[in-house]
Amino acid sequence: MHIAILETGRTNKKMPAHFINYPDMFGSLFGDYAAECGIHFSIVPVIEDVFPDDVHDYDGYLVTGSAFGVYDDAPFIPKLMVLLRDIYKARIPLVGVCFGHQIIAHALGGHAQKWSEGWGLGIRPVQLLAPCPWMADGNAKATSNDNVDLIHIHQDQVTSLPDEAVLVGTSDFCKNAMFAIDNIVFSMQGHPEFTNEYAAALIDLKRDVIDAETIDDAHATLKYTHQGEQMGRWIMNFFAQHAKAA
């Protein structure tokens, strides 16, 4: 199964040089489990105005995070929205993370915007409301009211979901933290691909725009372990179900 990683952003140039870009982070996250699921990836840098020639060029799509918002005047954004609608119409599996989560919701009839209550930073629990079938490892299946702890770094939020969407997970800061549409779309605000070290460095870059107390509170959460690896396996399960059905 061939998945396109739609690259919509890059690691901030002010970050330490050893940090990798988003597609490589996802590669590290999925690791050997991707191969076990028969999944491989190609990077499509839509941020550079590179797009698939045809929506059927790939068996699935993953949209990365970005410093952009859905409302920004970046040339790739309207083209990406058209592509996302085409992917959905073709019933090709689609995953979104952070900006990817926001732009999928926005493209499919929901709404995303800058959030009036500021930034969501650090490791935050997302309460599962309607666990999906792919949220399982062997016989261990996620259940309602389970929490998934994920790294969050965002000022924008999905404020309304597409009509067809089911709210899968919520948090006290981000109501629409995770959603799904049938078995075609799986989308989340949190960053399963980030490491604590990367998140800490990125949060530090925000000190000129975010108050010190908020920054310090976010850093305090990064002493703990998040469940990005678990979410990475669920994303692979989400894609793999389509390979099994083919």
- Over the Cα atoms of the chain, what is R_g? 17
Collapsed DSSP state (helix, strand, coil) of residue 201: helix
pLDDT at 117: 87
What is the number of alpha carbons within 13 Å of residue 90 lying toward its C-beta?
A: 17
The residues pairing with 127 across neighbouring beta strands, listed in sequence order, are 147, 170
Q: Which residues contact 109 (CB under 8 A, 6 or more apart)?
A: 162, 163
Q: How do residues 62-93 score in pLDDT, each as one tens digit?
A: 999 999 999 999 999 999 999 999 999 999 99
| pLDDT < 70 stretches in the chain | 245-246
Amino acid at 65: G
Structure tokens at 55: 């929506």
Q: How do residues 41-70 score in pLDDT, each as one tens digit?
A: 999 999 999 999 999 999 999 999 999 999
pLDDT at 233: 97
Contact 126, 227 (CB under 8 A): no
Domain encompassing residue 124: 2-245
Q: Tally the domains of the chain.
A: 1
Contact 202, 209 (CB under 8 A): no
Cα–Cα distance for residue pair 48/20, rounded to 1 Å: 18
Region of 51 (left: φ > 0; alpha: ψ -120 to 50; beta: rest) is: beta
Q: What is the pTM assigned to this prediction?
A: 0.96
CATH of the domain at 90: 3.40.50.880
Collapsed DSSP state (helix, strand, coil) of residue 27: helix
> E strands, the chain, where?
2-6, 40-44, 60-63, 94-97, 111-114, 120-128, 136-137, 140-141, 147-154, 156-160, 166-170, 178-181, 185-188
pLDDT at 246: 62
Let me know if 9 is exposed, middle or buried by CB neighbors in 10 A (0-12, 13-18, 19+).
middle
